[in-house]
Structures are given as C-alpha cells and as structure tokens.
Amino acid sequence: MISNSQREALIQAAVAVRERAYAPYSKYKVGAALLAADGRIFTGVNVENASYGLTICAERTAVFKAISEGCRDFTAVAVATENAGSPCGACRQVLAEFAGDVPVWLVDAAGHGRVTTLYALLPDHFGPEHLL
C-alpha cells in the first residue's frame, strides 16, 4: 500500500509531465508516472511520429525509462490525460510484465479521476509465468 503523500506525488508527476508530450497529430497528450518500490518516480510522455506506427505511449516510455535505470519493481501507476483515459492494450501488457496487479490512477488534466488495478484493466493477463 502506498501513502497518501506518495499517491499525490505520483498523480502530480503524471499531470505535470503530460505537458511535455509530443502529440502534434492526435493532440491527445498523456503523462504517466510509475512509483518504484524504492520510492523513486519515473515519468514518461507519449511521443508521436509522422509514421504513426513509430509512436510510443507515455506508459511504455515510463516503464522503459525505469528499466534502463535498473528499476524493475513498481508499486503504483498514474496516467494523466485530458479526460482521465485508460491505457491502451499494449501499455497494459507492458505494465503487467513489470508491475503486477498494482493500483492505477486514471486522472484528468486537473488530477481528478478514479483508481483501479492493473489486472482489472487487463483481466486474464499473459505474463512470464505462462512461458514455462
């Protein structure tokens, strides 16, 4: 369980980083923040590309950033969009690989929204344990 102050810091990090998103085509800016077990927060934004298939979502940016910094243990996620939208399927799968069934806050640009869990967003997930 995370503390109220950790939750607020996580949500505010997602809301703040959202402004750095590069979304000239969709105009749908997304910010994501991951809380690591050691207390660090890793952020990411969506980065669009004129070749749409090369676009990367904020959630995956945050995960890959954390992994590249040696962190693989997460306790919570926050995603900020204009309308408290939910992560896409690819992001849900990547988060499931590294975060497990953590709380996920889906918030709007003002930081208001709802909390759910990763496995509620991705029921019957596929993970490394299925490859044995």
Which residues are marked as active site?
59
Q: Cα 64 vs. chain centroid, distance in angstroms?
A: 11
Closest CA relative to residue 25, chosen from 54, 61, 49: 49
76 sits in which H/E element: strand 74-80
* Single-letter residue type at 110: A
Q: How far apart are CA 62 and CA 51, in angstroms?
A: 21
